[in-house]
Amino acid sequence: MRGQVRVPGDKSISHRALILAAVADGISIVRGLSTGDDVARTASALTAMGVPISVLDDGAGHQVCGGRAHLREPEGVVDVGNSGTSIRLLAGLCAGFGWLTVLAGDASIARRPMDRVADPLRRMGARIDGRNGGRLPPLTVRGGDLRGLDYDMPVASAQVKSAILLAGLSAEGETVVREPVPTRAHTEELLAAYGADISVEDEPGGGRVIRLRPSALHPFEIDIPGDPSQAAFWVVAACIVPGSDLVVDDVYLGPARAGFLDVLAAMGADVERVGERSLRARHSPDLHGTAVEAHQIPGLIDEIPVLAVAAALADGVTSFAGAGELRVKESDRVATITSELAAFGVSVKPTDDGLTVKGTGGDGGALKGAHVRSHGDHRVAMAMAVAAMAADGGSVVDGWEAVATSYPGFEDDLRRCVTR
């Protein structure tokens, strides 16, 4: 693999930028949106709620005509597809309005727990119901008349934090979110940039406290950088494919998003930052196992599938602790990583809160070509494609269409980088 690649705009920032543009009073310009179906679902939901969103004449961005006066009750069920970010963030947004919203998705979404979002929103005054006692989608959200709360996060989750803060924009009084382990800070960064009355305090021991008062946002322009979670696939691929020298351009590497680089550095990978927003990765034949601790997981939870592939080619054992959140992603990623890497001949064992991978680097050579499945999970699909590149013989990934969730151009970029 050689050359350069630019990954789609950061998915997490894209969701949040669209939602904040919808409530900002005026016309906002959002450039570089993620091209995946996840973000398209958020845009479609906002359109259903009365927010005009159009492509700019140059095709390089979107215009969002925002303001609370535009927002209205959607006429039908809002379908978020496979997007957990969409359903959780939209629940927080809709909690601030006195109308009814029904949020539903595909079979994967129907299995994902929503109580971690619904419970704090209920405490703020929203009425939320769903299947299994309000725990599972579809969710019905009737909002309005919210009051701020002081909330200690029981599970590190940027999505839950964001839902609470979005609701807090409309709440009476101060909303406080206390994070014992800091998570992605995109929501609070964007809120601060666009006029919200918000403050962030670092706590002794590494925690963080976010305080938000009811706020009106001003319109804005944003250029969204590349998604580090997508960049991780290319970086790992370059590290494990002989002869590789690859540059990934314009990647967001801010707080709580570059944790995968720390893990790869601990494994001995040849990866360097180029300027503020680019990465260069080269083949790294001497990777070795490492222990990924629980406090690191919030900063790399989405990158674990492809980091497990790097671990499969390393010498020794790599362990991931405190990663129970993997079981409630688009698939049960502990189970899917275990089964699909095993098909390549890798020894992977699930644990109570994560998994361990015994690499082939010092004990058995390359992976063997395999027929594997995505399980409808875009990150599993792309991780298995990366593994296939380092395997001896051909491989097949069933369910490849899942990649469109976040990176529909992945296959085209892969062909281009491999044929250089």
Q: How buried is 339 (Cβ within 10 angstroms: 0-12 exposed, 13-18 middle, 19+ buried)?
A: middle
- Verify whether residue 302 is a known catalytic residue: yes
CA dihedral 217, 405, 111, 176 (to 10 degrees): -20
**What is the separation of C-alpha 41 from the centre of its chain, rounded to a whole number of angstroms?**
14
Neighbouring residues of 159: CB distance < 8 A, sequence distance ≥ 6? 84, 85, 88, 89, 117
Helix-helix angle 84-94:115-123, to 10 degrees = 10
Tokens of 309: 């592939």
Exactly one of 302, 315, 363, 398 is catalytic; which is it? 302
Q: Strand, coil or helix: what is 356?
A: strand
Peptide bond before residue 305 is cis, with ω within 30 degrees of 0: no
Identity of residue 396:
V
Q: Residue 126: CA atoms inside 13 Å, Cβ hemisphere, count?
A: 35
Looking at residue 315, what DSSP letter applies? B
CA dist., res. 32 & res. 56, Å (int):
12
* Element holding 21 (H helix, E strand): helix 11-23
Residues paired with residue 359 on neighbouring β-strands, in sequence order: none
Give catalytic residues, as residue numbers. Answer: 302
